[in-house]
Homo-oligomer: A and B are copies of this chain.
Amino acid sequence: MNEAVAPDVDPGDLLDRSRFPVDPWALTESRYSDADLGTTETLFAVANGYLGMRGNVEEGRDSYAHGTFINGFHETWPIQHAEEAYGFARIGQTIVNVPDAKVIRLYVDDEPLLLSVADLLEYERRLDFRTGEYTREILWRTPAGKRVRVRSSRMVSLTERHLAVMTFEVTMLDDAAPVAISSQILNRQDGEDEYHVAAKAMGEGVDPRKAERMNRRVLEPIINRGNAESHRVELGYRCVDSGMTLAVAADHVFTTTSAYESSVVTDDDLAKVVYRIEAEPGVPISLTKFVAYHTSRGVPPRELIDRCGRTLSRAVRGGIDRIRADQADWLDNFWACSDAELEGDDELQQALRWNLFQMAQASARAEGSGIPAKGVTGSGYGGHYFWDTEIYVLPFLTYTRPAAARAALRFRYQLLDAARRRARELSQCGALFPWRTINGEEASAYYAAGTAQYHINADIAYALSQYVAASGDRDFLIRVGVDILVETARMWADLGFWQDSEFHIHGVTGPDEYTTVVSDNLFTNVMARFNLAQAARVVQELADVDGPEYDALVARLELGDDEVAEWQRAADAMAIPFDDFLGVHPQDLHFLEREVWDLENTPLAKRPLLLHYHPLVIYRFQVLKQADVVLALFLQGELFTDEQKRADFEYYDPITTGDSTLSAVVQSIMAAEVGYSDLARRYFVNALFVDLADRHRNTADGVHVASAGGVWSALVYGFGGFRDHGGRFTFDPRLPADWSALTFRLTIEGTQVRVTVRQGEIEFVVEAGEKVDVEVRGVSVQATADGPVVIALADQGPRIPGDPQPVAGRRRADGSVIGAIVPGT
Interface 0/1 of A795-825, CB less than 8 Å to B: 0000000000000000010101000010110
- A452 sits at the interface (CB 8 A): yes
CB within 8 Å for A206 and B517 given contacts A80-B80, A814-B500: no
Most buried by B among A79, A83, A593, A615: A83
Interchain CB contact under 8 A, A506 and B86: no
Chain A, residues 579-596, CB within 8 Å of chain B (1/0): the string is 000000000011001110
Question: Which of A446, A507, A619 neighbours the largest number of chain B CB atoms within 10 Å of its CB?
Answer: A507
Evaluate contact between B595 and A497: CB separation under 8 angstroms: yes
Among candidates B446, B504, B612, residue contacting A86 with C-beta atoms closer than 8 Å: B612
CB of A445 within 8 Å of the partner chain:
yes
CA distance in complex: A86, B617 (Å): 10
CB proximity to B under 8 Å, residues A58-92: 79-89, 92
Please determine whether A616 and B86 come into contact, CB atoms closer than 8 angstroms: no
- CA gap between A6 and B506 in the complex, in Å: 30
Q: Contacts A593-B499, A595-B497: A86 and B507 contacting too (C-beta < 8 A)?
A: no
Asked if A611 CB lies within 8 Å of chain B CBs, one says: yes
B613–A427 contact, CB under 8 A?
yes
A177 to B812, CA, bound (A): 92
Assess the A614–B83 pair: CB atoms within 8 A: no
A205 to chain B, nearest CB (A): 8
Tell me whether B506 and A610 are in contact (CB under 8 A): no
- Inter-subunit contact B519/A517 (CB<8 Å): no
Q: Are A426 and B616 in contact (CB under 8 A)?
A: yes
Residues of B close to A79: CB separation below 8 A: 82
Given A506-B620, A517-B619, A614-B426, A446 and B593 contact (CB-CB distance below 8 Å): no
Task: Flag whether A428 is at the interface (Cβ < 8 A).
Answer: yes
Is A444 engaged at the interface, CB distance under 8 Å to the other chain?
Answer: yes
Give A424 to B344 CA distance when docked, in angstroms: 52
Quick check: A616 and B507 within 8 Å, CB to CB? yes
Minimum Cβ distance to chain B for residue A22 (Å): 39
Beta-carbon contact of A83 and B446 below 8 Å: yes
Residues A823 and B427 in contact in the complex (CB < 8 Å), given A84-B208, A519-B593: yes
Assess whether B614 is in contact with A427, with CB atoms less than 8 Å apart. Answer: yes
Interface status of A550 (Cβ within 8 A of chain B): no
Q: Can you tell how many copies of this chain the complex includes?
A: 2
**A interface size (C-beta, 8 A):** 60
Q: Is the CB of A86 within 8 A of B595?
A: no
Residues of B within 8 A of A616 (CB): 87, 426, 447, 451-452, 507, 517
CA distance A428 to B617 in the complex (A): 9
Q: Indicate the member of A497, A612, A615, A816 with the most B CB atoms within 10 Å.
A: A615
Please give, as numbers and ranges, the residues of chain B lying within 8 Å of A519 by CB-CB distance: 590, 593-594
A425 within 8 A of B: yes
Q: Do B82 and A610 touch across chains, with their CB atoms under 8 A apart? A: no
Q: A445-B82, A507-B620, A590-B519 given as contacts; is B816 within 8 A of A500 (CB)?
A: yes
Q: Which of B81, B452, B612, B614 contacts A447 (CB 8 A)?
A: B614
Set B81, B590, B812, B821: member contacting A590, Cβ < 8 A = B590
- What residues on B are CB-neighbors of A615 within 8 Å? 85-87, 447
- Chain B residues closer than 8 Å to A451, beta-carbon distance: 614, 616
B445, A86: Cβ atoms under 8 Å? no
Set of chain B residues within 8 Å of A517, measured between Cβ atoms: 516-517, 616, 619
Shortest CB–CB separation between residue A338 and chain B, in angstroms? 35
Residue in B closest to A596 when the chains form the complex, CB atoms:
B497
Contact flags (1/0) for A389-420 with B, using CB distance below 8 Å? 00000000000000000000000000000000
Q: Is the CB of A614 within 8 A of B85?
A: yes
Q: Which residues of B contact A452 (CB under 8 A)?
A: 616
In the complex, A814 Cα to B499 Cα: how many Å? 10
Q: A37 contacts the other chain (Cβ, under 8 Å)? A: no
- 1/0 contact string of A487-508 vs chain B (CB within 8 Å): 0000000000101110010110
In the bound complex, residues from chain B placing their C-beta under 8 Å from that of A593 are 499, 504, 506, 519, 589
0/1 interface trace, chain A 430-457, chain B, CB 8 Å (1 if under): 0000000000000011111011100000
28 contacts across the A-B interface (CB closer than 8 A): A82-B82, A82-B446, A83-B208, A83-B445, A84-B208, A85-B208, A85-B446, A85-B615, A87-B615, A88-B614, A425-B614, A426-B614, A426-B616, A427-B614, A427-B823, A447-B616, A451-B614, A451-B616, A452-B616, A499-B593, A499-B816, A501-B816, A506-B593, A506-B594, A517-B616, A517-B619, A519-B593, A590-B590
Not counting A85-B610, A86-B611, A499-B816, a sample of 7 additional A-B residue pairs whose C-beta atoms are within 8 angstroms of each other reads A80-B80, A83-B450, A85-B446, A87-B614, A427-B823, A506-B594, A507-B617
Q: What residues make up the interface of A, taking CB atoms closer than 8 Å to B?
A: 79-89, 92, 205-208, 424-428, 444-448, 450-452, 497, 499-501, 504, 506-507, 516-517, 519, 589-590, 593-595, 610-617, 619-620, 812, 814, 816, 821, 823-824
